[in-house]
Amino acid sequence: MSDAGVRRSFNSSFITYQCHCGWVGDDSDIDDWDIQPETDRAVRICPSCGEPVPEWGTHRPLSGISAVARGPLRAALVEFERTE
């Protein structure tokens, strides 16, 4: 297994992510988020293995990110609020 991590390219506008499972892609490939109220954060989910990857950075607190979130993160927060 490889190490999870984030790389920034100066030749591209995307941020490159790598998961423990070996998946490598950019931020536009990640649509799913794990909303974790017990730690008051949102974590990106690997599109290959389906596991949350906190090494890619977390967004917190949930109250703060819900005020500014857009796209898939916003949709995940709305779904979380609806099911809670």
pLDDT for residue 32: 96
pLDDT for residue 84: 78
pLDDT for residue 43: 98
Burial of 30 (0-12, 13-18, 19+ CB in 10 A): buried
pLDDT for residue 12: 76
pLDDT for residue 14: 83
pLDDT for residue 1: 55
Q: Which residues of the chain have pLDDT under 70?
A: 1
pLDDT for residue 8: 83
